[in-house]
Structure 1
Amino acid sequence: MKSTITLSKKNVMQVIALSALLPIPLNFIIIYLNPIAIFTNFYDKATWITFCGNYMGGLMGGIVSLIILNKTLKQTSIQHEELKRIQINTITYTQKQEWLNNLKIRLTRNLRNIDLYILNTVVSDLRLHEYDHCKEILQKINYELENQVTFSYFDFSETTFSKEEEKFIMVNKLIYLEYTSLIRDLLYYVPLAANIHKGNPLTYEELMDYTLSQYDYISINNHSQYELQKSIILQVQELNPNDNLKEELERIVEKRLTFRTNLYQLKKELMEVTHSVIHYEVEEINKLLIS
């Protein structure tokens, strides 16, 4: 931050012009129109010229001092504003860095929540009829997924999102809705499968009553990206009383599980937009120091 005070070229020209032009009228006034000389008849030119020279020297010195003082005040004001801006940016930068560190932690946890490998364990448990273990895993996943979609809207510091933030929110919402949809569908199916596996007969009326009791929970925000993919509960509602319910349920679930491959593509996109949004936030914070 520079603090040297110098006269500009314009100021120097103004001082030179005054020094060259002001003595002529001033000398004339002091020698011929001076009231002291008129009333005392003291017209000694040498004395008055000396007085005029001293007066001009003091006047020019005063003018230069006023110019420098004015520049000093302006420069001090500018330096004060600059220092205040730097202090504000430094405080903001520190706060933003802390926010960014927390954001990285939350985004990393967000990626871990979409655990696609655990779905292989779920599928294996279903085929081995390990329904209790399967239900335990699904309930744990579902608990961790609760309210995860809404967090992405409140995790950024501004109310107006950048294109990087908007893309992250969109992809994050898609994968969470898709993942949550699958988990809730399987949670709907596991008690039915466990009951059938125990040898208890399942009637059409019992199936429909159970389905209706689960419908509100399963259907909440259950809007998949893939229009052709129907949730298990919607397909069950299309069954007929004469259908083999056990075989139809197994067929519907098997078909539903094939759509989990869509999640792998969405997980890849989520990783990319997560990296992109973190890079964007880092660049935005670094601008505070550059500016």
Structure 2
Amino acid sequence: MLEKRKPEFAMKLFSNDKEALTSLYEKLGDPEMVKDLRGFYEEGSTTKYCDKVFTKMMLLDACFILYLINSVFDRNIRSTFPLYMVPILCIDLFLLENQIPFKVLSPKRTWLESILCIRSDQRSGEQRQKSELIGGKEPDHLLHLLHRSHTTRNIYIDPFGDLNQNYIYKSNNFPNVNQLLDVGIRFKPSDHTISLEHFDFSKGWCGFSIAVQLPPMDVTGYTKPILLNLIAYEMYSGEDDWVTSYVCLLHSLIGDHEDVKVLTKAGVLENWLGTDSEVVELLREGPNYLHTQFAYLHT
């Protein structure tokens, strides 16, 4: 049904400006551009499409993605899509296998980046500059852009740079939140950032306690598929594994619903799922099949 409506969404996105849409199609259909776009996919996976079909597919898919995002943030999504489909469509945007080259989205890049800048920092209450959030180099696709919006781009940190090679990390011996609380360690959300690279310690009152600053996270029905696809992207792309490391860290810190309650009260987690036990199940499920990551051990 939606596939047949994609030409309609493309026209609406460009305010029924046929000339603008035709101009974009011609730009994407340039032989060099087509060759470049095909290069983003696994070799041989797009050969069944001739250049015209491939270009049309890129154009309509890109316009659909942008129109969907625009509808969500302009709060007119209900007038366009059935309400039950919205969560499914939003998750589909960030599935690794559904990504299209970001170059195709470039006509609306400024608008798209502005949305991500604003939305990604609403939780922290501070909006970063686009250059800091997005970075100078164009992202490969939308999932790559989402990954950038949750990591710091201007400083590269080698996760293993200062790691003592004699140190052996055993996740089963890692103290949980309440065990750390018992010895005077408190938790609070990172100040003015949601970057998953931001993990810090600060002294409490008169130096008698320590506060651990953790990146804040909203836990919703979208959280699991988004995290899993960001983790898959890190494995596939070789990007810094901050998402994987953060999930593994939470897996180690959270033993039961009482740990979730502490992190929620501290403002590190915001639970939109329902019960604290559901959060435990979500955050402890993934790392069972992940190799333990060490990105935070140098901090």
**Shorter chain as normaliser: what TM range?**
under 0.3
Output the TM-score relative to the length of structure 1.
Answer: 0.22
Identify the structure with the greater strand proportion: 2
Larger radius of gyration: 1
RCO higher in 1 or 2 (8 Å CA, sep ≥ 6)? 1
Output the TM-score relative to the length of structure 2.
Answer: 0.22
Identify the structure with the greater helix proportion: 1
